[in-house]
Amino acid sequence: MTPEQPAPKLSRVDGESVSDLERRKHGSGQPDSQDPVESAPRRIAGPRVDTPSANGDAGAGARRGLAVRLEGLRAFYGRAEQVKGIDLEFRANEVTAIIGPSGCGKSTLVRCINRMHEEVPGAHAEGRVLLEDLDVYGPSVDVVAVRRAVGMVFQKPNPFPTMSVFDNVAAGLRLTSRRRRDLHERVEAALRGAGLWEEVSERLDEPGAGLSGGQQQRLCIARSLAVEPEVILMDEPCSALDPVATLKIEELIDELKQRVTIVIVTHNMQQAARVADRTAFMLDGQLVEAGPTQEIFTNPGDPRTEEYVTGKFG
Ligand SMILES: Nc1ncnc2c1ncn2[C@@H]1O[C@H](COP(=O)(O)OP(=O)(O)OP(=O)(O)O)[C@@H](O)[C@H]1O
Ligand SMILES: [Mg+2]
């Protein structure tokens, strides 16, 4: 794909795209403007960044997240089954934490949601992952478009090391948008959305790798926000950060959920309790239980959950 080509459409056999789903959900049957690019369905035409307010909160035109539902999800590395038939819903515009001991399949599960799992040689997934009612494993769905709709932030901040702060955020936009003139505006909006603008507005041409760890992680969040995902997956996003940087990310998560649905893997029980509306507890590739965070921590239904959240194992 050249930079000038429109992004591929996330569609299924009957031709319904994610943008169609969104319009049906939020009641707008009209295209956004008469601009030839902007008036095409959003997921075909590429991103349109609503300008968020300075603190990144959701303005009138803010995007909304989509619900994700796993149905009988199984994930394999070769013949080894590491996610063993999970049914779980991530509600729209909520934060869901996934907790569980090391090796229980948390990362594997989240990587199935945006089809990153299948990038591992020999790995495959079975079952369904529904974005609203669109199966991201459907036969005509475009994988690149899935990954744009479902962004990912990793444990270790991974800005493109040789790129400037600006280019790190603009990278995804350059690949997917035909419009150049408002690139700067979109980069600024994404950086504001990630709570980083004030800190980097004078340093946009400096290498992204020169920022602090916490700033780099927010840069990665800005990079994923720039292409306007509906869902963001965060796999232990704070595990390499100090408590101050961690707090900033947690505050940001709280703001971002107004715009996107968030799934966060964490080993930190306090973090799950602070940021998550709902929590899911996994053990040995299976879901033990999921529910409102407070319930999972104070009155879980399964004794294994209680043992885990009270630190008796894991
Ligand atoms: N690329 C891979 N090839 C083969 N097996 C893998 C691969 N990645 C993970 N696994 C295995 O799948 C299982 C689940 O791993 P996963 O990384 O999903 O666990 P996790 O819950 O995220 O653990 P942690 O908390 O340590 O990050 C583990 O047994 C792991 O060894
Ligand atoms: Mg992991």
> What's the rounded Cα separation, in Å, for the pair 162 and 150?
25
Compute the radius of gyration of the chain from its Cα atoms: 19
pLDDT at 22 over 60: no
Reported as a pLDDT band with limits 50, 70 and 90, residue 240 is: confident
User: In the numeric block, which tokens belong to residue 133?
Assistant: 């009612």
Q: Stretch 284-294: mean pLDDT, rounded?
A: 98
> What's the rounded Cα separation, in Å, for the pair 118 and 155?
19
Q: Which ligand is nearest to the CA of 102?
A: 1
**Ligand 1 pocket residue status of 214, Cβ below 6 Å:** no
Max avg pLDDT among 7-21, 33-47, 126-140: 126-140
CB 155 within 8 A of CB 23: no
Q: DSSP state, 243? A: H
**Ligand 1 pocket residue status of 11, Cβ below 6 Å:** no
How many whole angstroms from 214 Cα to the centroid of ligand 2?
19
User: In the numeric block, which tokens belong to residue 49?
Assistant: 């960044």
Kindly report the protein residue whose alpha carbon is nearest to atom 14 of ligand 1: 105
Supply φ then ψ for residue 81, to 5 degrees.
Answer: -90, 120
pLDDT at site 314: 76
Q: Stretch 224-249: mean pLDDT, rounded?
A: 92
**Ligand 1 pocket residue status of 266, Cβ below 6 Å:** no
pLDDT in tens, 85-122: 999 999 999 999 999 999 999 999 999 999 999 999 99
pLDDT at 224 over 60: yes
Q: What number of other Cβ atoms are within 10 A of residue 219's Cβ?
A: 25
Q: Residues 186-217, buried b or exposed e (16+ Cβ, 10 A)? A: bbbbbbbbbbbbebbeeebeebbbebeebbbb
The ligand 1 atom nearest the CA atom of 105:
18
**Ligand 1 pocket residue status of 77, Cβ below 6 Å:** yes
SS3 category, 155? coil
Strands 278-283 and 95-99: parallel
Listed residue (97, 53, 76, 40) closest to 233, CA to CA = 97
Kindly report the protein residue whose alpha carbon is nearest to atom 27 of ligand 1: 102
**Ligand 1 pocket residue status of 79, Cβ below 6 Å:** no
How many whole angstroms from 85 Cα to the centroid of ligand 1?
16
pLDDT at site 10: 54
pLDDT at 309 over 50: yes
Q: Could you state, in order of their start, the residue ranges of all structural domains in the chain?
A: 93-114+142-158+205-309
pLDDT at 63 over 70: no
How many whole angstroms from 77 Cα to the centroid of ligand 1?
9
**Ligand 1 pocket residue status of 52, Cβ below 6 Å:** no
Report the predicted TM-score, pTM, of the whole model to 2 decimal places.
0.83
Instruction: Using a pLDDT cut of 90, give the percent of the chain over it.
Output: 69
**Ligand 1 pocket residue status of 108, Cβ below 6 Å:** yes
Q: Does domain 93-114+142-158+205-309 have CATH number 3.40.50.300?
A: yes
**Ligand 1 pocket residue status of 102, Cβ below 6 Å:** yes
**Ligand 1 pocket residue status of 121, Cβ below 6 Å:** no
Q: Stretch 292-301: mean pLDDT, rounded?
A: 97
Q: DSSP state, 8? A: P
pLDDT at 30 over 90: no
pLDDT at site 43: 43
> What's the rounded Cα separation, in Å, for the pair 297 and 283?
16
pLDDT at site 313: 81
The ligand 1 atom nearest the CA atom of 122:
3
The ligand 1 atom nearest the CA atom of 83:
14
Which has more confidence, 177 or 166? Answer: 166
pLDDT at site 312: 86
pLDDT at 311 over 60: yes
